[in-house]
Amino acid sequence: MAKKYFMREDVQKVLNSNPLGAKATYLEREPGSSPDNYIVYYRFMPNSSIRADDKIHMRKVMVEVVHYHKKKLDNIDDLMADNFGTEAIIFNAKQPDTDYFGTYFRFEILTGGDW
């Protein structure tokens, strides 16, 4: 069973451990580079919060991970299933005006701290 509580640094560490050696970045891709694979991730607004003593202790958030790749066979499917318990919602979508395909993942986690 996949872990459910992650800090942003935990998500970054998992994504950086991908078997393709793709660099993972939060929110946006580093400008000026054109690698064969790269991963961008970000979180959506909290879906709900767990409060106690008038403080938010945990948030339930939706995270989206996009794996951009030039070869259709390149994938991070096993990494995402093993660590986040999720499968791709969109496979190998051709990205407009680029030579990249995008595979999109969305999953819900519990988190705390700053993102």
- Go through the domains of the chain in sequence order and give each one's CATH number: 8-111 (3.30.2000)
Encoded amino acid at 58, one letter: M
pTM: 0.90
Q: How many CB atoms lie within 10 A of CB 110?
A: 15
Q: What is the pLDDT along the chain (115 residues), one digit of tens a residue?
A: 567 899 999 999 999 999 999 999 998 866 667 899 999 999 987 778 888 888 888 889 999 999 999 999 999 999 999 999 999 999 999 999 999 999 999 999 999 877 7
Which pLDDT does position 33 carry in this prediction?
A: 73
Which pLDDT does position 32 carry in this prediction?
A: 66
Give dist(CA 101, CA 60) in Å, integer. 29
Which pLDDT does position 2 carry in this prediction?
A: 66
